[in-house]
Amino acid sequence: MRIRKVRIRYLLSICLLLISTPSIVSAQQRGKLNRAETREAERRLSDMGYWTGAVDGLFDPATRSALIAFQKWEGRPVTGQLTLDELDAIRTSSSPKAREPGYAHVEVDLDRQVLLLVNDEGGVRVVPVSTGNGDPFIDEGQTSIAYTPRGRFMVYKKEVGWQSGPLGSTYYANFISGGVAIHGSRSVPFQPASHGCIRVPIFAAREMSKLLALGTIVLVYDHISFVSAKSWAENPGLKQAALLNSASTDYVDDIDATKTRPRSVVNKKARSKIIRAGFRFNNPGDSSRRKISNA
């Protein structure tokens, strides 16, 4: 009787294994894409506006970057892994939309952690970014805040290639406010991690810099702050005045192009200030600037 019970248990174990094996294999297969499926994902992502690089069926850093941007925009778990489940989601999704279409500009969505290059027709090219994490840090004995300012800005200064400083390195930096720049970085985490700059994937940084001509409008916003720049787009005089102001002072114009006010310092403490990822301004009227690259 005992031997019979052992045999029955053994047979039951075999049956359960046979039943579960197909589901295990199916789950494993769901995580693997062949080259044709990878190319399909790349093509679809590219058609929607995500910056994929070459559509060649190879899951390279550019493809992974496009997938991450897609996952961020759609509110999906950000894994950077291209599975059949992700392919299914890509097949049924639509293109990202600019917050303010109608003119060429750049948008940085701080909540989603993505950057959109927007053309005159509202078409977009989207890359993932990493911005200021809001944490305090010590620089040369003083407390600073890793903060990316919100508002409307313009590219007023550009750099070529790599530039290094105490806080890190920048690649093809495009300055938009004080020392805050859109620049390439070897490290673009899924979450905010910079000292204030807007990091973009290094593979796209050089070409993006070519697209960000001096005077390019840049809107930086989150779910509670958005400032329109339509008046700049519609009135070249206002835009030119704002550009000259950006290049000569440490002011942010975020309500009225005819009125400027000093930048507010978030979480300001005694003797603390915000490091603006490229230059430190001791006061708005101080023309002496010391380079401190901030990745």
In the prediction, which pLDDT does 21 show?
Answer: 43
Return d(Cα 136, Cα 106) in angstroms, integer.
28
* Residues sharing a CB contact under 8 Å with residue 144, sequence separation 6 or more, in sequence order: 136, 137, 138, 195, 272, 273, 274, 275
pLDDT along the chain (295 residues), means of 10: 56 51 42 90 98 95 98 98 97 97 97 98 97 87 90 96 87 93 96 95 97 97 96 89 74 34 32 35 31 45
In the prediction, which pLDDT does 142 show?
Answer: 83
In the prediction, which pLDDT does 12 show?
Answer: 54
Q: In whole angstroms, how far apart are CA 58 and each of 40, 46, 67, 128, 185?
A: 11, 14, 13, 19, 22
Collapsed DSSP state (helix, strand, coil) of residue 105 = strand
DSSP 137-187: EEETTEEEE--PPPEEEE--EE--SEEEETBEEEEEEEEEETTEEEEEES-
In the prediction, which pLDDT does 105 show?
Answer: 97
In the prediction, which pLDDT does 219 show?
Answer: 98
Look up tokens 């030119």; give the residue. 240
Amino acid at position 27, single letter: A
Is-contact 208 182, C-beta < 8 A? yes
Is-contact 65 54, C-beta < 8 A? no
In the prediction, which pLDDT does 62 show?
Answer: 97
* Residues sharing a CB contact under 8 Å with residue 48, sequence separation 6 or more, in sequence order: 70, 90, 93, 94, 95, 96
- Chain length of the chain: 295
Task: Record the tokens describing residue 180, joined without a space.
Answer: 């805050």
Is-contact 146 137, C-beta < 8 A? yes
